Amino acid sequence: MEFSKTLKRKRSTTDFCPRIANQLMLKEIQKGSSQNIVSSPLSINAVLNMLAAGSSGKTLKQMLGFLGLKNVDEINSKSRQIMAVAAAGGSGGGGASENASDGPILTMVNGAWVDQRFPLVPK
């Protein structure tokens, strides 16, 4: 039964990132935006992982529950696995291709910006 709960959580997180990406794109389309729109479920997942890894206490516990993970080490491990698969063009080979025709080349830069109206609380 515990496995079933964990599987449901992982599915909900896996389903959540593409759903939120689609909703963001639809919102822009409904506004009549004529700009190019890029939305990345992988980036949304990376942001959720960064938020969880940078949190503590009750917030960390809630984030881990949502992500279906046990601790920050597991977040780091899963993130490395996802990036290895993405860098291998989805083949699971674990490394970036030297030949661009072998598949996509993935480059990511992630960061978090804080609205200065809402100062961070130091640990």
How confident is the model over 1-19, as a mean pLDDT?
61
Q: Taking the domains of the chain in order of start, what are their residue ranges?
A: 2-97
Would you say 42 and 109 are in contact if contact means Cβ atoms under 8 Å apart?
A: no
**CA distance to 48, 50, 51, 108, 114, per residue, from 111 (Å):** 11, 9, 10, 10, 10
What confidence tens digit (pLDDT) does each residue in 48-101 have? 888 898 899 999 999 998 888 889 999 888 888 877 777 766 554 444 445 555
pLDDT digits (tens, 9 = 90+) for 15-29: 788 888 888 888 888
Residue, of 105 and 6, whose pLDDT is higher: 105
pTM, full prediction: 0.61
- Residue 8 CB coordination number (10 Å): 11
Find the mean pLDDT for residues 100-111. 65
Greatest pairwise CA separation for the chain in angstroms:
48
What average pLDDT does range 94-117 have in this prediction? 64
